[in-house]
Amino acid sequence: MLTRKQHELICFIHDRLAETGVSPSFEEMKEALDLKSKSGVHRLISALEERGFLRRLPNRARALEVVKMPERVEPSRAAAAASAPPRRATPEPANDVIEIPLHGRIAAGLPIEAFEGSSTLPVPAALLGSGEHFALEVAGDSMVEAGILDGDYALIRRTESARDGEIVVALIDDSEATLKYFRREGAMVRLDPANRSYDPQRYAPAQVRVQGKLAGLLRRYD
């Protein structure tokens, strides 16, 4: 049997999913249940998961699925359910957010050491296409003329190949990474900035490994 708060929470989540197709935020759940902190919401959700009433969808924020509803409902809800027409199956949450790996900072100027740690970055799924993606925080100003600014988050689709003119993450000598236009120049690889204050960088092909291609950008405004 569920506690009163557990019952209130699963009913609230169920109703919100039926209305909008998107599960409520932790802040909305906290306010709906008149809880003092979000940690109480976390505990309730964990308890409902353990009892098989809820399931979290992987790699998505704010994505909960109601697996089953409790047999006993409050009188007001029972009356409403009896008079309401049958509901369709709860749709999958739309326009959700995907957590992708965030691998530190990458130079848009001179190369710096690549992948200085690993956390995650929430990204709207609509910004990403097919394939595997990761994010890097941009450091430097050498790509400003391509609209890539210091502090932006570069969304990278993982690949080991690139065509001339594409913006890539290039790993140099297996130790440093940079974000540049990729071009072939005779027997060399040329990495071009998008800032007239910087010069192109030229390397032997064996020195350069493409790690991915730019798929999009995220920018925060303080």
Domain at 212, CATH number: 2.10.109.10
Q: For 13-68, write each residue's pLDDT tens digit.
A: 888 877 777 778 788 888 888 888 777 888 888 888 888 888 877 655 557 888 88
Answer whether residue 93 is part of any domain: no
Report yes or no on 26 lying in a domain. Answer: yes
Per-residue pLDDT reduced to its tens digit, 165-213:
999 999 999 888 899 999 999 999 999 999 999 999 999 999 999 999 9
SS3 146: helix
Report whether 200 contacts 217 (CB < 8 A).
Answer: no
Query: Given 18, 49, 83, which residue is the final one in a domain?
Result: 83
Both 78 and 103 in one domain: the answer is: no
| Whether residue 109 sits in one domain with residue 63 | no
- Residue 43 domain-assigned (yes or no): yes
DSSP annotation string for 22-71: SPPPHHHHHHHTT-SSHHHHHHHHHHHHHTTSEEEPTTEET-EEE----S
Is 161 a catalytic site residue? no
Dig out the tokens for 174 from the structure. 């297996």
Q: Looking at the predicted structure, is the pLDDT value of residue 82 above 50?
A: no
Catalytic residue check, 68 = no
**CATH number, domain containing residue 28:** 1.10.10.10
CA atoms of 206 and 209, how far apart (whole Å): 8
| 107 and 179 belong to one structural domain | yes
Q: Which of 25, 180, 197, 213 is catalytic?
A: 180
Domain that holds residue 123: 99-218
Question: Does residue 88 sit within a domain?
Answer: no
Total number of domains constituting the chain: 2
pLDDT of residue 210: 94
Q: Which residues contact 47 (CB under 8 A, 6 or more apart)?
A: 3, 6
d(CA 183, CA 192): 7
At 194 the pLDDT is 95
Is residue 121 scored above 50 in pLDDT? yes
Single pTM value for the model: 0.55
Q: Which of 5, 38, 68, 142 is catalytic?
A: 142
Same domain for 77 and 104, yes or no, is no
